[in-house]
């Protein structure tokens, strides 16, 4: 995943949370330090769900996809 670089000067640091740029849809910005914790939390949840009969339901698959996405953010 290649990050998109936007060269703008901000009056303050952007924190983790909702972020709207121009007239585009609102997205969710995750700071790198928050991404580390989020990835660890998702790993713990996946570990619990993985050994249950629910391990292949849509919730597990969605959490795995989110984990993979956040993990890639940590490594950029």
Q: What is the pLDDT of residue 56?
A: 65
Q: In 1-76, which residue ranges form alpha helices assigned H by DSSP?
A: 32-50, 58-74
Taking only the tens place, the pLDDT of each residue in 9-46 is: 877 888 998 988 889 999 888 888 888 888 888 888 88
Q: How far apart, in whole angstroms, are the C-alpha atoms of residue 64 and residue 76?
A: 19
Ramachandran area for residue 41 (φ above 0: left; ψ -120 to 50: alpha; else beta):
alpha
Q: What is the pLDDT of residue 1?
A: 61
Higher pLDDT, residue 25 or 1: 25
Which sequence spans correspond to the domains of the chain?
Answer: 30-74
Taking only the tens place, the pLDDT of each residue in 39-68 is: 888 888 888 777 776 656 777 788 888 888
Q: What is the pLDDT of residue 75?
A: 67
């Amino acid at each position: 995943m290649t990050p998109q670089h936007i060269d703008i000067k901000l009056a303050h640091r952007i924190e983790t949370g909702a972020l709207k740029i121009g007239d585009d849809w609102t997205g969710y910005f995750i700071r790198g330090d928050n991404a580390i914790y989020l990835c660890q939390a998702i790993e713990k949840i996946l570990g619990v769900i993985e050994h249950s009969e629910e391990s292949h339901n849509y919730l597990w698959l969605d959490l795995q996809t989110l984990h993979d996405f956040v993990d890639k953010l940590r490594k950029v």
